[in-house]
């Protein structure tokens, strides 16, 4: 603020700083007088209004914190349920795979080896068809 003296409180279109504060106090008092409560002293009105404002802000802040905690708890619950579902699906798939492998290994051949079998074809791993078996009905699923 160029050109201002040290003791000069003039700033902006409001006039002096003290007048600005007085105007703000009047606004607070008018707001209180418009409400239901009627104070005996305007200073009591101002103090009471600030107390209510502080209480309201504190309540709003508490509500916001509680809402944030509820949202976080919901997200954590969904995350835990998802992980449990993934784990149970993994166990089901693993059990099915183990059952299929064990049954395949434990099943006897459908017919005894015949002297007319072409043993070279059975050993040939490069064949495009390979050896296939019918799936067993002993496994669940």
Please calculate the CA angle 120-122-125 and round it to the nearest 5 degrees: 95
pTM of the entire predicted model:
0.34
Per the structure block, which two tokens stand in for 46? 């101002």
pLDDT in tens, the chain (141 residues): 444 444 444 444 545 556 666 777 777 777 766 766 555 666 777 788 888 889 999 998 888 888 888 888 888 899 999 999 999 998 998 888 887 777 766 666 666 666 666 656 555 455 555 454 444 445 554
Distance set, CA 47 to CA 9, 37, 41, 86, 133 (Å): 26, 13, 10, 58, 89
Length of the chain as a residue count: 141
* Exposure class string for 72-97: b at 16+ Cβ within 10 A, else e: eeeeeeeeeeeeeeeeeeeeeeeeee
Alpha-carbon span 125 to 113, nearest angstrom: 19
- At 112 the pLDDT is 60
- At 47 the pLDDT is 82
- At 6 the pLDDT is 43
Residue 12 CB neighbour total at 10 angstroms:
7
Question: Would you list the domain boundaries of the chain?
Answer: 11-105
- At 86 the pLDDT is 92
> DSSP per residue over 29-84, as a string?
HHHHHHSS---SSHHHHHHHHHHHHHHHHHHHHHHHHHHHHHHHHHHHHHHHHHHH
Alpha-carbon span 17 to 98, nearest angstrom: 83
């Amino acid at each position: 603020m160029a050109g201002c003296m040290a003791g000069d409180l003039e700033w902006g279109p409001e006039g002096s700083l003290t007048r600005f504060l007085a105007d703000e106090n009047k606004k607070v008092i008018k707001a209180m007088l418009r409400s239901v409560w009627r104070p005996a002293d305007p200073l009591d009105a101002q103090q009471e209004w600030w107390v209510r404002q502080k209480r309201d802000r504190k309540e709003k802040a508490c509500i916001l914190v509680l809402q944030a905690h509820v949202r976080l708890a919901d997200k954590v619950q969904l995350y835990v349920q998802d992980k449990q579902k993934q784990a149970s699906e993994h166990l089901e798939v693993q059990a099915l795979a183990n059952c299929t492998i064990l049954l395949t290994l434990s099943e006897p051949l459908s017919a005894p080896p015949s002297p007319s079998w072409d043993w070279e074809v059975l050993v040939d791993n490069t064949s495009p068809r390979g050896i296939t078996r019918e799936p067993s009905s002993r496994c669940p699923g």
